[in-house]
Amino acid sequence: MRPPVLAACDLRKSYGSVTALDGVSLDLHPGDSLAIVGESGSGKSTLLRCLAWLEQPGGGYVRFEGAPVMELDTTGRREFRRRVQLMLQDAAQALNPRWRALALVREPLDLLRPDLDATARETLARRCMERVALPDWAADRLPGEFSGGQRQRILLARAIVLDPSVLLLDEPFAGLDPPVQGELLALLRHLRAERQMATAFVTHDPGLAAAVADKIAVFGRGRIVEHGPTAGLLAQPVHPTTRLLVACHKARLFGGGSP
Amino acid sequence: MLRRLGGAALALAGLSVLCFALPNWAPGDFLTDAAVNPALDRSTIDAMRVRYGLDEPLPVRYGRWLRGLTRGELGLSLSYQVDAATLLLPRLRATLVLNAFALLLALVAALPAAAAVGRSGPAFRRAADTAMLAVLSVPEIVLVLILLATALTWEIPLPGGQPEGVVGLLQGLAVPGLALALGAAPIFYRHARAAFDEALGAPFVAAARHAGVPEVSVQLRYVLPAAANPLISLLGTSLGNLLSASLVVETVTGWPGLGPLLLEAVLARDSNVVAGAVLLAATCQIAGNVAADLALMRLDPRIRL
Amino acid sequence: MSRRAISRPVLLLVVWHAALAAGAWLAPHPGNRQYREYPFAPPTRIRLLDANRGLAWPHVCALEPEPARFGAYREDCARRFPVRFLASRPGGGIALMQAVAPGSLFLLGTDELGRDVFSRLLLGGVLSLGCGLSAACLALALAAWLGSLAGLLGGLADAVISRGAEVLMALPILYLLLAMRAALPIQSPPLTGFLMAVCLIALAGWARPARLVRGIVLSARERGYVLAARGFGAGSFYLLRKHLLPELRGVLHAQAAVLIPRFVILEVTLSLLGLGVPEPASSWGSMLANLRQYDVLATHPWMLAPAAALTLSLALFGHAGRWLEVEVQEKA
């Protein structure tokens, strides 16, 4: 088996008296598609931020291609930043409202690809915007002028413009209409196949997880309580947290109530 | 509350360093000017420097100065050859008398005016607000010069030096006090207008009126307490501005407060007097802020510090 | 509306500065020229009627010092001198208006050395307002950098900056200024004095806006896009320049409207106390310094002209500030 591209090993993190991560370990191999499912407030977002090294874990390691991220030198850290991308929750917040779309998509290149000249960066950014199916007129608009789905596409373009090996997504489709969700899911699947990216995404919705992921890790109270291949795990949940999640999901799907 | 006091103490400690370091850090000292005097030769001046401890490094002198502070001394004034505290304390009293007088005058003028204007017609209200804004843009320096010029043209006596008796005191206070009060009153007026407006529009005031509470009682028991909070915090914060303005006004009118002495000491490089005066003024301001917080806490049961 | 509207009050101030500067350029007399024979001359009356009460070209009567009393003058209308507009000035340059020699025209009278108050008023205005403006810019730059550094870095940097600001704010500002002034040489040439005043005022006044900036940066730091940029490996400097400083523009504008008038007053006060911009350069403050002698104040009211000009400017600033306030409210 190939070595994991990104691995977490016994991650711990607490804020004051609240424990967000309580010994989390997981491996992400090239081409993997992992869904991390759990209730809100169970520490999923913290896990992703620690994996992307936006927050330092209180204990444990994050390994990138075998090397602990903590010990990477400046060059190594830049390489890590380029190849591991985190797409944040809530596109309205994650895009600076004063910047135009093209500048937003170019920002990662400006920061991490100083080897390219300005024209090359702009061409690359435009190509990425095209790839995520943003219309031509999008380049000069401000984030406030886009719909939620389009903002999500801008975020996605920002994430793939650096051609990463790992894409971490935090509740990527929260608050979007089902048809828009469907389009974005399809786009994500294409991108993953085309670029051989490993993806890990966090959601509270087991249905969504089933739609994209090959593997599922169920998250509860700061630890992974159950994990395995998607189909099997959702069909025969063992842990109470998983059962509850699956039951809620079914009730929503078939109970006729609106989500 | 303890944290508030601790913060004040910390600020004072920082201030003591600042107050001491700034005047003493200056290029040249009191004796540099003395060197111009042909009657004194170099060795005498060097000997004097050693006697006053001016040759030692700053931290050592700061330590000595701090030890003096605990005994209530502010260090020797080189131009007067007495301890700075004996010079400064009467001056501080005069400054406080002036500021208290001005504050009282400003409040007595501004609050009833604000309350009255708040209940008058819109045309009068706008006119009064505009007039107050006009006064607001006249700084204290200009106010005091105009008042002085007026007093001089009408030959109102302006007693200099130590005031005698109550009449003398009031005569001496008139120009500087009025200038300071005129400077402060428009600010109080503006905030009081806003506070009264808000309090009068509050639902509980309408409810009290509806329940038949007499108007006087509504004003005193409902409106005034509701409007008091922002005014008390304003009093605390405006003390600093008042003390600043008072420095100029004292200097121009010759009121024997901290201001003229501080100016003289800066020009004479009398560092201990400078440090002492600044430290005393800062203590006053910090004390004022803490007092305002305490008053707020007493008056409003919701506020806990 | 936003961009244009914000600049309207600023435009007002720029126009006012420009008017003063243009006036200073066209000053009737060189600011330092001493007409020793005319100390404390009152404002000269410009006459439009000739001896026969007929309409005439604007002119002035000859000014005769009274031999017995210092600073007393009488007009001798047997000798009249026409006024010339935009004539060449003795020291070079162009004068707005001037009486034909040997007549003399002092629009706002002269001071104790016989210097033209009107010319010095214009020159002093450029200096005093310029000082307030530069000090405000410097203070805001300091506040923006220190405040955002404190908010962004947190920890020790935040503690040092915040405590420092608190200490500065615990002092009445004028006392602080005098204490800082005490650390500098008392005598200095005019240019040094001007720069010193600018730096002192800025150093004394950055604390309050810095605290505001810190608060805004603290809340902005947690925004998604700042976090995202950190995810792309952005350093603090990049975040500050690209994401946080633009956020602060509105606040800095509003603070400028508050600080400029306050700093102008501080410069005038310092100079009035003899610790600001030194003679022979004219600042509104140093022009008012003579009035600390009561006899000057009582007998030569035209020397109050800088006070009037200061008040007018402050009223203008206040107006601009309220304009800005209203616009910011409308925008919100």
In the predicted structure, residue C139 carries a pLDDT above the cut 90: yes
- Give the pLDDT confidence of A191-203 residue by residue, as tens digits: 888 888 888 888 8
Contact C233 A95 (CB under 8 A): no
Q: Over pLDDT 70: what percentage of chain B?
A: 88
Give residue A91's pLDDT band: very low, low, confident or very high (50, 70, 90): low
- Give the pLDDT confidence of B159-195 residue by residue, as tens digits: 555 556 777 777 778 888 889 999 889 888 988 888 8
Cβ-contact C96, C27 below 8 angstroms: yes
Would you state the structure tokens that stand for residue A32, as one six-digit string? 């993997």
Query: What is the nearest CA distance from A235 to chain C, expressed in angstroms?
Result: 36
More confident residue, A250 or C203: C203
Q: Which other chains touch chain B, taking contact as 3+ CB pairs less than 8 Å apart?
A: C
Q: Which residue has the tokens 């009081």?
A: B192
Query: Do the two chains B and A touch, given a threshold of 8 Å on CB pairs and at least 3 pairs?
Result: no
More confident residue, A257 or C224: C224
Mutation site, A86, A107, A155, A167, interface C, largest C CB count within 10 A? A107
In the predicted structure, residue A74 carries a pLDDT above the cut 90: no
DSSP string over chain A = -PPPSEEEEEEEEEETTEEEEEEEEEEE-TT-EEEEEE-TTSSHHHHHHHHTTSS--SEEEEEETTEEGGG--HHHHHHHHHHEEEEPS-HHHHS-TTS-HHHHHHHHHHHH-TTS-HHHHHHHHHHHHHHTT--GGGGG--GGGS-HHHHHHHHHHHHHTT--SEEEEESTTTT--HHHHHHHHHHHHHHHHHHT-EEEEEES-HHHHHHH-SEEEEEETTEEEEEEEHHHHHHS--SHHHHHHHHHHHHHHHS----
In the predicted structure, residue C142 carries a pLDDT above the cut 90: yes
Instruction: List, in order of start, the domains of chain C with CATH numbers.
Output: 44-105 (no CATH), 118-331 (1.10.3720.10)
What is the dotted CATH code of the domain comprising B99-268+284-304?
Answer: 1.10.3720.10
pLDDT at res. B157: 66
In the predicted structure, residue B255 carries a pLDDT above the cut 80: yes
In the predicted structure, residue B260 carries a pLDDT above the cut 50: yes
pTM summary value = 0.81
User: Which of these ranges, A128-137, B141-150, B218-227, C161-170, has the smallest mean pLDDT?
Assistant: B218-227
Which positions in chain A touch C225 (Cβ < 8 Å)? Answer: 93-96
Query: What is the nearest CA distance from C226 to chain A, expressed in angstroms?
Result: 8
pLDDT at res. C135: 93
**Residue B250 and residue B176: Cα distance in Å, rounded?**
7
Give residue C2's pLDDT band: very low, low, confident or very high (50, 70, 90): very low
More confident residue, B197 or A91: B197
| Over residues A151-157, mean pLDDT | 87
Contact A88 C230 (CB under 8 A): no
More confident residue, C127 or A222: C127
Mutation site, B126, B142, B148, interface C, largest C CB count within 10 A? B142
Cβ-contact C125, C313 below 8 angstroms: yes
Residue A223 contacts C where some CB pair is shorter than 8 Å: no
pLDDT at res. C1: 37
Contact A77 C233 (CB under 8 A): yes
| Over residues B93-113, mean pLDDT | 90
**Residue C31 and residue C102: Cα distance in Å, rounded?**
19
Contact C227 A88 (CB under 8 A): yes
Q: Over pLDDT 70: what percentage of chain A?
A: 96
In the predicted structure, residue B36 carries a pLDDT above the cut 70: no
**Chain A window 74-93: which residues touch C at a Cβ cutoff of 8 Å?**
77-78, 81-82, 85-86, 88-90, 93
Closest-CA residue in chain C for B132?
C315
Residue A95 contacts C where some CB pair is shorter than 8 Å: yes
Question: Residue A61 forms beta bridges with which residues?
Answer: A9
Which positions in chain C touch A98 (Cβ < 8 Å)? Answer: 246
Closest-CA residue in chain C for B259?
C175
Which positions in chain B touch C172 (Cβ < 8 Å)? Answer: 240-241, 243-244, 247, 281-282, 285
Q: Over pLDDT 90: what percentage of chain B?
A: 5
Q: Which residue has the tokens 């600033």?
A: C317
Minimal Cβ distance to C311: which of B25, B27, B137:
B137
In chain B, count H helices and then E strands.
13, 0
In the predicted structure, residue C330 carries a pLDDT above the cut 70: no
Which positions in chain C touch B79 (Cβ < 8 Å)? Answer: none
CATH assignment of A6-253, given 3.30.420.40, 3.40.50.300, 3.30.450.80, 3.20.20.70?
Answer: 3.40.50.300
Q: Smallest Cα–Cα separation from B20: which of B279, B275, B278, B251? A: B275
Size of interface B-C (CB pairs under 8 A): 145
Q: Which of the given ranges, A114-128, B75-89, C42-56, C179-193, has the highest pLDDT on average?
A: A114-128
Give residue B1's pLDDT band: very low, low, confident or very high (50, 70, 90): low
Contact A108 C230 (CB under 8 A): no
Minimal Cβ distance to A86: which of C231, C234, C238:
C231
Query: What is the nearest CA distance from C233 to chain A, expressed in angstroms?
Result: 6
| Over residues A158-162, mean pLDDT | 86
**For chain B, what are the domain ranges?**
2-85, 99-268+284-304
Average pLDDT value for chain B: 81
Which positions in chain B touch C180 (Cβ < 8 Å)? Answer: 22
Closest-CA residue in chain C for A85?
C231
Which positions in chain A touch C246 (Cβ < 8 Å)? Answer: 98
Minimal Cβ distance to C232: which of A89, A98, A107:
A107
pLDDT at res. C138: 94
In the predicted structure, residue C216 carries a pLDDT above the cut 90: no
In the predicted structure, residue C4 carries a pLDDT above the cut 60: no
Q: How many CB atoms lie within 10 A of CB C223?
A: 18
Would you state the structure tokens that stand for residue B70, as one six-digit string? 């605990």
| Over residues B199-207, mean pLDDT | 82
Cβ-contact A168, A87 below 8 angstroms: yes
- Give the pLDDT confidence of A206-217 residue by residue, as tens digits: 888 888 888 888
**For chain A, what are the domain ranges?**
6-253
Q: Which other chains touch chain A, taking contact as 3+ CB pairs less than 8 Å apart?
A: C
Minimal Cβ distance to C233: which of A81, A90, A158:
A81
Contact C185 B12 (CB under 8 A): no
- Give the pLDDT confidence of C287-321 residue by residue, as tens digits: 888 887 777 777 788 888 899 989 988 888 887 77
- Residue B162 has φ and ψ, to the nearest 5°, of -75, 125
Cβ-contact C97, C28 below 8 angstroms: yes
Q: Which amino acid is at B195?
A: A
